[in-house]
Structure 1
C-alpha cells in the first residue's frame, strides 16, 4: 500500500502507538490501515453417495478439480457465501448444512471454511469459473487432480467421517511444506 484510501496521502509502514505489529499508517489523516486474512468459503454439495466437484476455468490451478468455493463478500454470512459460491461456480442450488472444516492457511493469509450441503436438485452446469462440474463417488475422485491442499484435506476427512458414520467439525493448518494435494492422506 502506497497511498491512504481515506485521504490519498502517502502512508508509512510502521508500528502505530498501542500496537505490536507494523501497519500502513497515514500521517496526514491518522488512519491505520489493517490488512487481515481473507476468508475462503465453500461447500461439499452432496447428492445420495456422491459429491459435486468443479473443474477450474481460472488460475490458480486451471483445469484442476475443487469444491465450489471462493472469497467471502462483505455483508454476507459464511453460509450465504457457501451457497452463493456454489451457485456461481456450479449453477447449483444447495441447502447449507453444518460447518465441516476450518483450515488456517497462514502463509497466504487465508482461512478456509467448508460446509456440508445438500444439492436441492440435479440441475447444475458449469458457471463462468468452471470448465465442467460433475458428481463423484469416493472411488472416482480424481485425487491427483485436486487443486488445493485444503480441499483434499476436507474431502479425505469427509469420506473418513462418512465411513465411520460419525460427523465431526475439523480444524487444522496447512503450510508450504505440506505435500501436494494428490498425496495428502496416502
Structure 2
C-alpha cells in the first residue's frame, strides 16, 4: 500500500526551482519548499510541516537630502557595498519608527548631523532588489557634522560640484539629478519613479538602469 502525503488545508502545486529564499518556517521551524499556492500566481516559500506561506516584502530605505548654504550634505562610505563612494545619509527603517524618524536617525548616525525635515522629496522603487526609497529634504539645525562609524568623511557640495563619477547607488544618482533639475528650474517638486536594474548591474553603474513611471507634482 502506498503512503499518502500529509494533508494540509492549503493545497499547493509543486515546482522544480532553485533553493528557497526562506529555508525554514518562521512558525514551526520545518523546511520550506518553493511552490505556487492555490489561488496565487507567484512562487512562495511554503512550510512542509504546517503549510504556512511566507511572503517576502520590499525593504524600506529612508534618507535625507540635507541642504545648507545652497549645498547638499554627502557621506563617503566606510562599509561595503560601494566602499569609498559618496551617498546621501540613508538606511533601513527600524521597527517602531516612522519613515521621517528613520531618516533623521540615519543622518545622525552617518553624519553626526542633527536635522529638521522640510518635506518629502522623492519615492524611488527598485523592484529587482526589493527596495523602496523615501528621501526627505532636510536642513541642518546647526552647522556641525562629522563622519559617523559608517562614513570615511562628510562634506557639503554645491550642486555643480557633486561628484557624480563616484556616487554609490543608482537611487542617489537619480535623486540628485532630479534635485538639480528642480533647483535650476526654480521649483522643488515631489517625485516618484521606478528604477529598473538590469541583470548583473553594479549598484552605481550609470549605464545599467532605466527610469520608468517618473511622476512629479
Fold match by TM threshold 0.5: yes
Change (3 A) 1:4 1:17: same
Contact 1:44–1:116, Cα closer than 8 Å, also in 2: yes
Contact 2:126–2:197, Cα closer than 8 Å, also in 1: no
- The Cα of 1:117 is off from its aligned counterpart by 0.6
Change (3 A) 1:182 1:56: farther
- Equivalent in the alignment of 1:63: 84
- The Cα of 1:30 is off from its aligned counterpart by 2.9
SS state at 2:196 partner: coil
- Equivalent in the alignment of 2:7: none
Alignment of 1:1-186 (within 5 A): 1-177=22-198, 180-181=205-206
- TM-score (ref. length: structure 1): 0.92
Q: Which of structures 1 and 2 has the bigger CA Rg?
A: 2
Contact 2:113–2:146, Cα closer than 8 Å, also in 1: yes
Question: After TM superposition, what 4+ stretches of structure 1 lie above 3 angstroms from structure 2?
Answer: 181-184
SS state at 2:37 partner: coil
What CA distance in whole angstroms lies between the structure 2 residues aligned with 1:181 and 1:102? 19
Contact 2:113–2:144, Cα closer than 8 Å, also in 1: yes
- The Cα of 1:90 is off from its aligned counterpart by 0.5
What CA distance in whole angstroms lies between the structure 2 residues aligned with 1:21 and 1:183? 26
Change (3 A) 1:67 1:31: same
- TM-score (ref. length: structure 2): 0.79
Corresponding pairs, count: 184
What CA distance in whole angstroms lies between the structure 1 residues aligned with 2:49 and 2:206? 46
SS state at 1:73 partner: coil
Worse overlay, 124-133 or 19-28: 19-28
Contact 2:197–2:208, Cα closer than 8 Å, also in 1: no
- The Cα of 1:2 is off from its aligned counterpart by 1.6
Runs of at least 5 residues in structure 2 that lack an aligned partner in the other structure: 1-21, 210-217
SS state at 1:175 partner: strand
What CA distance in whole angstroms lies between the structure 1 residues aligned with 2:206 and 2:88? 13
SS state at 1:174 partner: strand
